[in-house]
Amino acid sequence: MVIKTATFVCSNTRIDKLPAPEMPEYAFIGRSNVGKSSLINALTGHRHLAKTSQTPGKTQLINHFLINDAWYLVDLPGYGFAKASKGSRAAWEKFIRRYLLQRENLQCVFVLIDSRHDPQRIDLDFCYWLGEKGVPFMLVFTKADKQSQAKSDGTIAKFHRALQQWFEEVPQYFLTSAETQLGCEQLLDVIDDINR
């Protein structure tokens, strides 16, 4: 898929204020600092569409971007930031869960995982929860340029093994880099396929 237009639509803290669910929607989510904003910018070819390196967890917003006047790319707030209070974590969970469970035009959630690190409990728990609730999701391993292919493959294999305990079929995954654009075309092609 070629991205011809990518425009910011709105930021929301309330799910009842989201754009009308008239177009297919794809959400991106992951731990704070996983490289989500960088990947969104790389995918859309806009250097500043999503704001990178914000203070982790400061803004808990759902950001909608309209792509090619045909589908929404949704930037969900990052989870698992160390400094978050219990209260703000609980509020995040409630807000995101409601969004993920209620958004009728949501086609797929892309769960971003840092390809440099061993599986983290918080990521695995989140995937398990999505699977349990029947929310379609795929895995996107980020920052592949930061280490060897063998190291990334090792992380992916460990993640696979962890998920195999729960899922008969392990979700589709991508290895990506916002720096080199690795995996970006494949990811957009999958969105294209689902949209058809």
Minimum distance of ligand GDP from residue 143's CB (angstroms)? 4
Which part of the chain contacts ligand GDP (CB under 6 A), choosing from 19-27, 28-36, 94-102, 148-156? 28-36
Which part of the chain contacts ligand GDP (CB under 6 A), choosing from 17-25, 124-132, 152-160, 174-182? 174-182
Under the criterion CB under 6 A, does residue 38 sit at the interface with ligand GDP?
A: yes
Length of the chain: 196
What are the CA-CA distances from residue 44 to residues 7, 8, 51, 67, 168 (Å)?
10, 11, 13, 8, 33
Q: In what order do the strands lie in the sheet with 137-142?
A: 6-12, 62-67, 71-75, 25-30, 106-114, 137-142, 173-175
Nearer Cβ to ligand GDP (32/152): 32
Q: Closest-CB residue for ligand GDP? A: 35
Nearer Cβ to ligand GDP (48/86): 48
Among 53, 55, 85, 148, contact with ligand GDP (rule: CB under 6 A):
53
Under the criterion CB under 6 A, does residue 12 sit at the interface with ligand GDP?
A: no
d(C-alpha 37, C-alpha 74), whole Å: 11
User: By CB under 6 A, what part of segment 133-152 binds ligand GDP?
Assistant: 142-143, 145-146
Q: What is the DSSP letter of 168?
A: S
**Which amino acid is it at 15?**
I
Which part of the chain contacts ligand GDP (CB under 6 A), choosing from 8-16, 29-37, 86-94, 116-124? 29-37
d(C-alpha 192, C-alpha 144), whole Å: 23
# chain residues binding ligand GDP, by CB under 6 A: 18
CB-based contacts of 149-154 (< 8 A; 24+ apart in sequence): 151/115, 151/116, 152/115
Contact string 89-118 vs ligand GDP (x = CB under 6 A): ------------------------------
- For residue 141, list its beta bridge partners: 113, 175
